[in-house]
Chains A and B, each alone.
Chain A
């Protein structure tokens, strides 16, 4: 960095001091001087100054008063107060209300003042850099939000049209008219839709701030069962919910968690099982909701149990996306919930969840 680009404004009512300062520092900095606060303000209005040094004891406006007066209009330049006597009160005032970076006693020592100006400039740079970084992040964040919005609309709309076409084909009894091709299109569309939905859930879970709203587990569970058993009427649900007191929590995340677990319980049934069943038990106390979801499905191999919550873990036999349980875990982390699982390939799987009641 070329130090001659550092612009310093020095305000002092004594002409001699201004001259001495110029003489001592003009080689290192671009220097502006003013004989009064009013003159200083004029310079600030026309030049981008990095460091301001002001004498405290001046006739009309003191250094501290001047700094106070520009707190809102010129917040960026870093301020150094120069004073010939130690006035604790002025100093406290300066620090508390004038946003002062350094305090230097008169007569100044060239080296000390030089170092102070350099440090002040570094502080100025850091402040501006931080502001630019924040602006950059806000822009990225904005773009991400727009991207998520466009996934949920533009990307999904044509896919949903394709799914609609498959429905019409079924209604016109043409589904088996081209061998298994319609079925294959249906499978592919559903899979793509699933990935889009999970991706959105993942981003929303990461970005949304916590929301506290009343949660009625009976309503949520009934809606979710209706939604996910739409394509599978074979699975029998036993639901037992004890909620006598209000529960407050993050409704979106709780829905994501329960939705993924219920859809898994339906999806990973044993094909040959005659009596497919899922049991849901929920008990709400004033501190927590304890939720158990168990199925008599295909179960999870012991060696897989530790990996099921990691992103993109898929077992060879069950064609999952590797996203559902990962999202469950991420959402639980956000709302300080806990999950445990016990499973074997004979009896099926039981997930136990504890979510705090945030009242």
Chain B
């Protein structure tokens, strides 16, 4: 079990969803701090910048699948190559509106994805996922 999560990173190209989901997380008080990233590249460069600064790293990443250029799966391919210390600390859940069977199967099969959450995000569902992996 990991300690109570403090920081969450939202990666989503959709401005509206970023706003909604950060609002939901703020109101439900599941995290103290939210890092907003408008693309997978932005998320990766944040992680790269803070590789050695644990305090700045997110405990949890909510990753969208459908994004232009680098999609969620491309992100995971690069994330795979990060040092173990980061991968052990930052857990990833997919947050997507997809109903595509192929995408769902692919997401569930990825070893770094602990859960596939469907939009719209419900705080209760998110909390249940967190409870399984963190001391809340």
The chain A residues found within 8 Å of chain B, CB to CB, are: 149, 152-153, 156-158, 160-161, 163-168, 171-172, 196-197, 200, 204, 252
Q: Is B66 a contact partner of A168 (Cβ separation < 8 A)?
A: no
Number of A-B contacts (CB under 8 A): 57
- Chain A residues with CB below 8 A from B28, complex form: 171
Q: Is B101 a contact partner of A156 (Cβ separation < 8 A)?
A: no
Query: Which of A149, A163, A172 makes the CB contact (< 8 A) with B120?
Result: A163
Query: Which of B14, B100, B122 makes the CB contact (< 8 A) with A152?
Result: B100
Q: Is A167 a contact partner of B122 (Cβ separation < 8 A)?
A: yes
Q: In the assembled complex, how far is the CB of residue B28 from the closest CB belonging to chain A, in whole angstroms?
A: 7
Contact size range, B: 20 to 34
Complex-state Cα separation, A204 to B43, whole angstroms: 34
Q: In the assembled complex, how far is the CB of residue A150 from the closest CB belonging to chain B, in whole angstroms?
A: 10
Query: Which of B16, B27, B98, B100 makes the CB contact (< 8 A) with A171?
Result: B27
Q: Mark B11-27, 1 if CB is under 8 A from A, else 0.
A: 00010110011011001
Give the interface SS of chain A, mostly helix, strand, loop or mixed.
helix
Q: Is A165 a contact partner of B98 (Cβ separation < 8 A)?
A: no
The chain B residues found within 8 Å of chain A, CB to CB, are: 14, 16-17, 20-21, 23-24, 27-28, 66, 97-101, 119-123
User: Can you give 17 A-B contacts (C-beta < 8 A)?
Assistant: A152-B98, A152-B99, A152-B100, A157-B66, A160-B97, A161-B14, A161-B120, A164-B16, A164-B119, A164-B120, A166-B120, A167-B20, A171-B28, A172-B27, A196-B99, A197-B99, A204-B101
Q: For residue A149, which residue of chain B has the nearest CB?
A: B100
Query: Which of A149, A153, A171, A204 makes the CB contact (< 8 A) with B24?
Result: A171
Q: A149-B100, A164-B24, A167-B20 are in contact. List 6 more A-B contacts (CB 8 A).
A: A153-B66, A153-B97, A153-B98, A156-B97, A161-B16, A161-B119
Complex-state Cα separation, A172 to B17, whole angstroms: 17
Most-contacted residue by chain A among B21, B23, B27 (CB, 10 A): B23
Query: Which of B17, B27, B101 makes the CB contact (< 8 A) with A161?
Result: B17
Complex-state Cα separation, A300 to B28, whole angstroms: 42
Q: A164-B17, A164-B120, A167-B120 are contacts. A153–B23 as well, Cβ < 8 Å?
A: no
Complex-state Cα separation, A172 to B19, whole angstroms: 14
Q: Is A160 a contact partner of B123 (Cβ separation < 8 A)?
A: no
- Chain A residues with CB below 8 A from B14, complex form: 157, 161
Q: Is A153 a contact partner of B100 (Cβ separation < 8 A)?
A: yes
